[in-house]
Structure 1
């Protein structure tokens, strides 16, 4: 392992944007029609249901990310690749670094929307 191993993580995520998101458009909703009509509570409920499906084994994280995430990383199953400190929004960074490899977060709020994060490296 390199000396910087503890300074970088790799993660995948599922992002659901909502009315309070700083950018109300995504690859699957370019005009933001759905996002503008999605409350934060609704986005959280959707993410919780997806998280439950993953935890119960009904679905795989990367499949759900590809289908439901508002992030362009959806085409990679939510994979964001490796990143270090100060490269992501603070709540996202803190949640990711707190996870062990293979663990999945609870709901994480950022300016982008609400996320569930899976640490993959």
Structure 2
């Protein structure tokens, strides 16, 4: 088992073009780094800690985002996680809303499409604009990155 792992790691650093089709994780990291545009750290981390607010209706998530703008974002402040959590408990339609929208640490590849893209490209401490996924409308607060 150890030898197989070593073989997988070695080629990834050498020929990205040859390995891209067979190594989906490395391909995702490379794409994330190029899409992030704000530096490699956003696109290459393996784990992110985030909170979110999920609403089925666009009007409801717009209302929540306006509250965030009026309270913090318009003045250039970052939304404190505790305050974001209060809004998540009040408005989020996701079971995580009971925990203030806290999703904890999750790896790249666990969340679907646009949610993962936003969670992994939002700067630490920043709040994303509202966006749509297959589950509804979200706002994400990135709390940390690692790996």
The two structures share one fold, judged by TM-score above 0.5: yes
Among 99, 106, 109, the alignment partner of 2:129 is 106
Task: From the two aligned structures, give the one with the greater helix fraction.
Answer: 2
Greater Rg by CA: 2
User: Which structure's relative contact order is higher, taking Cα pairs within 8 Å and 6+ residues apart?
Assistant: 1
Calculate the TM-score normalised by the size of structure 2.
Answer: 0.58
Deviations 1:71-96 (A, max 9, x none): 10011100001111111111011111
- Alpha carbon RMSD of aligned pairs, Å? 2.2
2:52–2:139 Cα contact (<8 Å) kept? yes
The answer to whether residue 105 in structure 2 is matched with residue 82 in structure 1 is yes
Which consecutive residues of structure 2, in runs of 5 or more, have no partner in the other structure? 1-43
1:108–1:115 Cα contact (<8 Å) kept? yes
Query: Which runs of at least 4 in structure 1 moved beyond 3 Å after TM superposition?
Result: 56-59
Shift of 1:54: 4.4
Alignment of 1:25-44 (within 5 A): 40=58, 42-44=59-61
1: CA distance between counterparts of 2:67 and 2:136?
Answer: 15
2:108–2:116 Cα contact (<8 Å) kept? yes
Query: Are the structure 2 counterparts of residues 8 and 61 from structure 1 closer, same or farther at C-alpha, using a change threshold of 3 Å?
Result: same
Calculate the TM-score normalised by the size of structure 1.
Answer: 0.69
The answer to whether residue 45 in structure 2 is matched with residue 6 in structure 1 is yes
Aligned residue-pair number: 95
2:54–2:61 Cα contact (<8 Å) kept? no
Shift of 1:107: 1.0
Shift of 1:51: 2.6
The answer to whether residue 104 in structure 2 is matched with residue 93 in structure 1 is no
Which consecutive residues of structure 1, in runs of 5 or more, have no partner in the other structure? 19-39
Deviations 1:29-80 (A, max 9, x none): xxxxxxxxxxx3x234223223324425798101000111001001110000
